Amino acid sequence: MSHEQSHPHHIVPLKIYLAVGAALLILTAITVAVSFIDLGGFNIVVALAVAAVKASLVILFFMHLKYDNKLYMIIFLVAIVFLAIFITFTMFDTLDRGVINPEMDLHINPRAKIYQNMLMDTAAVSSDTLPPPASGH
Amino acid sequence: MSHADSHAAHPKHLAHHFSDSVQQAESAKLGMWIFLLTEILLFGGLFCAYAVFRAWNHEMFYSAHKFLDVTLGSINTVVLITSSVTMALSIHAMQLGKKKQTLILLAVTLLLAAIFLVVKYFEYSHKFHLGQLPGKYYTFTGVPGDNPHIFFSVYFAMTGLHGLHVLGGMGAIIWMMVRTAKNSFSPEYYTPLELTGLYWHLVDLIWIFLFPLLYLIG
């Protein structure tokens, strides 16, 4: 009865799923191993590069974007592009706050209540390095 | 084929407002991908927070991340990747009409998800015990550097939201097991199973980034 429909689903061979799974596990081992080597600023580059490769494998094969309607790929890429814009432009602001106005370089107000409690416990910080608490008592 | 014939052959799963099964399945997947887009942007806010706080507190992030257990994190990464494989294989089995195999693979996926959460539970309870808690609840004194509670706030927010997604995924997998057992799916129709798979792979995808950012480089 249902044979009048052509088979609408692309069946990915079992071998591909197993190979992708193995590749993901190997890449996990690589990223863990590399994290124990001090590469300075390159550690994050390697970690994110390996994560990006792993993510691509998951998206292309497990999530079928390699085989499916390309519209889904476009939706996914739109999400990634907007995420990149979001993070990049936020960093433009937050990284350079002290450049124009040095007072803004202090990212957290040490007068905030919760920091006072914590700093009192820390012998490393002497009380005279702290600005006086806001008046009010 | 006359109209009456084609109507008689109308598959049970096909809703009347779709012209055929392919259109129905593609529409469902389109909706799912738009939902996944919102999920990426939801986690995106937390990834952005991570980027900002890491840039501001670079050395503290480095010192604090050493208090995360790389072994447990790696185990959970392997567990989650394996669960993604079994999820994909369960759909593969349904494409071939192997109902029993689908059920077994879904059960394995569910078990792996539970293992992930159990490992997470041990990690969390250890941190609760040490007072490595977010924000004002932070009482641990072993991390050198200023404001180490910020790292743990980011850690708990990101892994906590991810953990909730694992729980949600487990619920969806259980639902799919019930529907598979009730013979709702066939090689012609298994869209809900596919959508659950997409969701589960997204959960894996988020962890693929969380793990190196939190556990490996801090």
Residue B15 lies in a domain: no
> What's the rounded Cα separation, in Å, for the pair B80 and B115?
9
Q: Between these two residues, B196 and A134, which has the higher pLDDT value?
A: B196
Which segments in chain A show pLDDT lower than 70?
A: 1-9, 103-137
Taking contacts as CB-CB distances below 8 angstroms, the residues of chain B near A82 are 41, 44
Among A72, A91, A118, the residue with its CB nearest the CB of B55 is: A91
Q: B109 lies in which domain range?
A: 22-217
Residue B8 lies in a domain: no
Check: CB of residue A46 under 8 Å from CB of residue A34.
Answer: yes
What's the structural domain count of chain B? 1
pLDDT value for A117? 61
Residue B114 lies in a domain: yes
Question: pTM for this one?
Answer: 0.86
DSSP 8-state secondary structure symbol assigned to residue B214 = I
pLDDT value for B15? 86
Residue B212 lies in a domain: yes
Residue B184 lies in a domain: yes
> What's the rounded Cα separation, in Å, for the pair A15 and B130?
45
Taking contacts as CB-CB distances below 8 angstroms, the residues of chain A near B96 are 11
Residue A99 lies in a domain: no
Residue B91 lies in a domain: yes
Q: What residues contact B14, with CB distance under 8 A and at least 6 apart?
A: B20, B21, B24
Distance from CA of A95 to the nearest CA of B (A): 7
Among A32, A44, A108, the residue with its CB nearest the CB of B74 is: A32
B178 touches chain A (CB under 8 A): no
pLDDT band at B16; cut points 50, 70, 90: confident
Residue A20 lies in a domain: yes
Residue A31 lies in a domain: yes
Residue A49 lies in a domain: yes
Residue A126 lies in a domain: no
Residue A88 lies in a domain: no
> What's the rounded Cα separation, in Å, for the pair A126 and B139?
19
pLDDT value for B185? 95
pLDDT value for B17? 86
Whether pLDDT at B31 is above 60? yes
Residue B11 lies in a domain: no
pLDDT value for A124? 47
Residue of B nearest to A21 (CA): B85
pLDDT value for B6? 52
Q: Across chain B, what does the average pLDDT equal?
A: 92
- Which residues of chain B from 91 to 110 reach within 8 Å of chain A, CB to CB? 92, 95-96
Q: Do A69 and B26 touch (CB under 8 A)?
A: yes
Distances (CA, A) of A89 to A26, A98, A130, B51: 34, 16, 32, 12
pLDDT value for B20? 85
Q: Between these two residues, A107 and B106, which has the higher pLDDT value?
A: B106
Residue B160 lies in a domain: yes
For residue B40, the domain's CATH number is 1.20.120.80
Q: A19 lies in which domain range?
A: 7-64
In tens, the pLDDT along B125-171 reads: 999 999 898 888 888 888 887 788 899 999 999 999 999 999 999 99
A and B: number of Cβ contacts within 8 A: 148
**ipTM of this complex:** 0.89
Residue A22 lies in a domain: yes
Best of A35, A39, A50, A106 to disrupt the B interface by mutation (most B CBs within 10 Å)?
A35
B185 touches chain A (CB under 8 A): no
What's the structural domain count of chain A? 1
Residue A132 lies in a domain: no
In tens, the pLDDT along B49-94 reads: 999 999 988 888 999 999 999 999 999 999 999 999 999 999 999 9
Q: Do A75 and B78 touch (CB under 8 A)?
A: no
Q: What 3-state DSSP class applies to A31?
A: helix
